[in-house]
Structure 1
Amino acid sequence: MKKLINRQPGRVGAWALGLLPFVLLLIVYMVASDARLTENPNDKLLPALGSFVDAIQRMAFEPSKRSGDYLLLNDTLASLQRLGIGVAISALVALVVGIGNGTIPYIRSTLSPLVTGLSLVPPMAILPVLFIIFGLGELAKVMLIIIGITPFLIRDLQQRALEIPEEQIIKLQTLGANTWQIITRLVWPQLMPRLIGAVRLSLGPAWLFLIAAEAIAATEGLGYRIFLVRRYLAMDVILPYVVWITLLAFAIDFLLRRYSQWRYPWFHQQAH
């Protein structure tokens, strides 16, 4: 008989075990909601599941009486645009600076202390500064994402570049490769799948910074809507929005992972 540490669930079993905690949470919520609503039918803290259905129908499938827009769609597009721009710029800057810091000692001596210092600054602490400098428009929200995750991405890629075996670099130099050829033919290909992995890890903080910025200064967006309706204790809107943000984050993470597996199969085979 195999020991528990050596037993692996099958495909169906893995899916069932993965869904089990969500089912248990749903059951706990339904029991707690029923208890509160029995005591107070007007309770707004834990609304019934039917209230969620009505709220989703109103936010996603019915045009707003004030603007005529579909609010969930507009909020989603606004937030995804900000998130996409912020993460894309962060990844590009991190790739360039991370490669420079990891491969060229003069660049590392110049920029590495600055990057380390920036990574220790709490991004939320400088949010008022960003609004003062960049105004209340889109730029401040995107900049918060960039400032929040770029130092982490740079430090991760710098460390990955430093971990490239020195023997590989020496071999290319022996074959006559210059610095640019070493970067483009050795460092760049090895860092790209690691960049995707680092971006996946940074999506959680990126969403956090985005929602915080939208809550303070925005006229549309998922974070804006959550903080707008909280004054009415509209948990039937807030909780579906939270679940929707989670699903969006999961979908983005899934797509990045599948792209990495398709584009860099050698890296994932090596990881296993």
Structure 2
Amino acid sequence: MPRLVNRHPDRISRLLLGLLPFLLVLAVYLLASAERLAANPNDKLLPGFAAFGAAIWRMAALPSERSGELLLWADTMASLARLAWGLGISAAIGLVVGIVNGVIPLARAGLSPFVAGLSLIPPMAVLPILFIVFGLGEVSKVALIVIGIAPVIVRDLQARALELPVELIVKAQTLGANTWTLILRVVLPQLLPRLLDALRLSLGGAWLFLIAAEAIAASEGLGYRIFLVRRYLAMDVILPYVAWITLLAFAIDWALRLLSRRAFPWFAASAGGGR
């Protein structure tokens, strides 16, 4: 009898096993909702699917009487733009500083303690400072994402750079590579797929900081809408928005994973390790 650690599901089984927890949560919700609605048809805590459908149609297909916009799509575009700026800037900072810290000992001695200190600061604690310095506009929201995830990416890429085999670095220098050539031809190709992995791992934190900033000071965005309608106990809007954010995060994670597999197949194969 094969050991449990050696049994691998096929593609269909993996799909079904992945869907099972979601189906169980959905079933529990439907049962709880039906019970509450039977006791009180106007219950707002656990609305039925009909209420969800009406709310989604109102937010996604009917122009707002106030602004004339389709609110779901306007909120989505605003949040995705902020998220894209935050992830892009964080990736650039993480790649540059992570490589410099990992390759150049003098830079590591000066910058590594500073980056470590930054990574330990709770980003939400500096949000009021960001609003004071940058105002309530887009810059403060993007800055919160960058402060929240860039130090973590820097430390991760620095650690990966330090894990590169010493023989590889010595061989490149033996063949005449200077520091710049060593970074471009040896270190950078090794760290680019790890940067994509670091972005995937930081995605949850980026969404958290984005929604927190939007909830405090914004006029549109997914986080802004959720905190706006909470005062009315509008769970028929809040829960679809939460599900939509989850779907967007899953799509971004899937896109980054696909990009890593297509651009760096050697890394995907080594990371999979046959498992």
TM-score bucket of the superposed structures, by smaller chain: over 0.9
Aligned residues: 272
Match of 2:202 in 1: 202
CA–CA separation in structure 1 for the residues paired with 2:121 and 2:46: 37
Aligned to 1:211: 211
Give the alignment of 1:86-165 within 5 angstroms: 86-165=86-165
1:214 is displaced (CA, Å) by: 0.1
Aligned to 1:65: 65
Q: Aligned residue for 1:241? A: 241
The offset of 1:39, in angstroms, is: 1.3
TM-score if structure 1 supplies the norm length? 0.99
Question: Which residue identity lines up with residue 140 of structure 2 in the other structure?
Answer: A
- Secondary structure, counterpart of 1:164 in structure 2: coil
Post-superposition Cα deviations, 1:191-224, rounded to whole Å, max 9, x if no partner, equal 0000000000000000000000000000000000
SS at match of 1:252: helix
TM-score in terms of structure 2 length: 0.98
Q: Which amino acid aligns with 2:174?
A: T
Structure 1 stretches (4+) deviating beyond 6 angstroms?
Answer: none
Gaps of 5+ in 2: none
CA RMSD, aligned part only?
Answer: 0.7
Q: CA–CA distance in 1 between the matches of 2:50 and 2:111? A: 55
Query: Cα deviation per residue 1:75-96 (whole Å; 9 max; x = unaligned)?
Result: 0000000000011001001111
Partner of 1:35: 35
Matched, 1:53 2:53: yes
Deviation (angstroms), 1:140:
0.3
Match of 1:17 in 2: 17
Aligned pair 1:85/2:85, yes or no? Answer: yes
Give the C-alpha shift of residue 164 in structure 1.
0.5
Amino acid at match of 1:176: G
Counterpart code for 1:44: K
Task: State the Cα distance separating 1:171 from its structure 2 match.
Answer: 0.5
Name the structure 1 match of 2:230.
Answer: 230
Distance 2:3 2:270 in 1: 27
- Supply the distance in 2 between the matched residues of 1:236 and 1:84 (Cα, whole angstroms): 28
State the shift of 1:10 in Å.
Answer: 1.3
Q: Aligned residue for 1:177?
A: 177
- 1:2 Cα shift? 2.2
Moved more, 73-82 or 60-69: 60-69
> Is 2:260 the partner of 1:260?
yes
Letter in 2 for 1:41: P
